[in-house]
């Protein structure tokens, strides 16, 4: 059997789709499983040994460069790559118009969410088979239930993200026990107050953990460096690739992060994870896993530093 999964973005959504690969591997050990994903997140499915081929797509970048000839050449090459295989099933677990249109470029029976279950109902018009999956369950479960419906296997398989920290990716971060703090996120209203981060980082330092604050751009670096400056021994590392971040997470004793896909990656890697919600609701898209995972806060009710430290103490015990 040949299977193509379409889940392109964002980072957290891509992480949430990893258990689908594990479920498919259990149910069809000899299957070929390919995955179409945004180029920026392609290293996530590559972490899963059950994925045979990753097909990167660059919708985000192409949208910004539609006037360039090179963009249209890349589009043509992408269509050729995704149409090169004859798949038995093309499964779109994203449920957006863009993902449905990508699925239509591939050869095979296209499956996805029914209109009443898809994030964008019009996407269902592009599938050969669609399925009604409840909306009031976590995103990880929705993905898994959709795949179980499309391939007719049990929905009660054990949860398994199927990934491990990549070997050989360790950068120059400190030796000894680490606490990784993801202080940055995509929206300002999701940020946790810097004073809270300083209090938490200081308390973790007192517990002989080294706080490490990874960043992705210059604005995030300035903020992280202000926090690190208040705590002797806290570290803001150089910019890291996604694989290096995964390796850093894998070597940590604890991860604390705001609403960011990297917190979901930590939960998938079974590192004790605390996710902080300030302007979003964690019930359907919070961190989710079989290890120590906790979602704190919700829209309009940010957790206090004392709450976070109390849960951190539980995780470290």
Residues near 68 by beta carbon (within 8 Å), at least 6 away in sequence? none
Q: Are residues 9 and 128 in the same domain?
A: yes
Is residue 162 one of the residues assigned to a domain? no
Residue 124 clears pLDDT 70, i.e. is over it: yes
Could you tell me the CATH number of the domain that includes residue 184?
3.40.50.2000
Residue 158 lies in a domain: no
Count of C-beta atoms within a 10 Å radius of residue 46? 17
**In terms of domains, do 195 and 132 share one?**
no
In this structure, the answer to whether residues 200 and 144 fall within a common structural domain is no
- The domain boundary residue, chosen from 109, 134, 151: 151
Query: Could you tell me how many helices (H) and strands (E) the chain has, helices first?
Result: 12, 11
| pLDDT at residue 170 is higher than 70 | no
Considering the domain architecture, whether residues 115 and 201 belong to the same structural domain is answered as no
The answer as to whether 48 is a domain residue is yes
Same domain, 300 and 190: yes
Residues 8 and 257: beta-carbon distance below 8 Å: no
In which domain, by residue range, is 291 found?
178-316
- Tallying the residues shown for the chain, one arrives at 317
CA atoms within 13 A on the CB side of 23: 25
Quick one: pLDDT at residue 168? Answer: 74
pLDDT per residue over 175-220, tens digit each? 889 999 999 998 999 999 999 999 999 999 999 999 999 999 999 9
Distance of CA 95 to the CA centre of its chain: 16
As for how many domains the chain has, the answer is: 2
Listed in sequence order, the DSSP H helices in 3-68 are: 11-16, 18-27, 43-46, 59-64
pLDDT of 172 above 70: no
| 236 domain residue, yes or no | yes
Q: Where does residue 4 rank: exposed (0-12), middle (13-18), buried (19+ CB within 10 A)?
A: buried
């Amino acid at each position: 059997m040949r299977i193509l999964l379409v889940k392109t973005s964002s980072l957290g959504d891509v992480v949430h789709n990893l258990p689908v690969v594990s479920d498919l591997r259990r149910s069809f050990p000899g299957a070929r499983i390919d995955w179409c994903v945004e180029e920026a997140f392609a290293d996530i499915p590559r972490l899963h040994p059950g994925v045979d081929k990753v097909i990167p797509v660059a919708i985000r970048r192409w949208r910004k460069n539609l006037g360039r000839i090179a963009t249209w050449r890349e589009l043509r090459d992408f269509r050729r790559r995704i149409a090169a295989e004859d798949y038995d099933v093309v499964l779109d677990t994203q449920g957006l118009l863009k993902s449905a249109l990508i699925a239509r470029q591939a050869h095979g029976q296209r499956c996805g969410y029914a209109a009443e279950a898809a994030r964008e109902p019009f996407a269902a018009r592009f599938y050969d088979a669609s399925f009604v999956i409840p909306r009031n369950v976590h995103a990880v479960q929705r993905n898994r239930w959709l795949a179980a419906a499309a391939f007719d296997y049990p929905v009660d398989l054990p949860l398994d993200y199927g990934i491990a920290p990549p070997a050989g990716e360790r950068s120059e971060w400190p030796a000894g026990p680490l606490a990784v703090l993801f202080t940055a996120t995509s929206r300002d209203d999701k940020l946790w107050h810097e004073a809270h981060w300083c209090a938490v980082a200081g308390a973790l330092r007192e517990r002989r953990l080294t706080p490490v604050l990874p960043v992705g751009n210059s604005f995030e670096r300035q903020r992280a460096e202000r926090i690190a400056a208040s705590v002797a021994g806290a570290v803001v590392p150089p910019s890291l690739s996604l694989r290096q971040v995964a390796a850093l997470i894998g070597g940590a004793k604890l991860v604390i992060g705001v609403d960011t896909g990297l917190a979901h990656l930590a939960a998938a890697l079974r590192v004790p994870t605390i996710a902080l919600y300030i302007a979003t609701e964690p019930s359907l898209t919070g961190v989710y896993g079989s290890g120590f995972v906790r979602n704190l806060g919700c829209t309009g009710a940010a957790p206090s530093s004392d709450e976070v430290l109390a849960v951190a103490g539980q995780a470290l015990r």
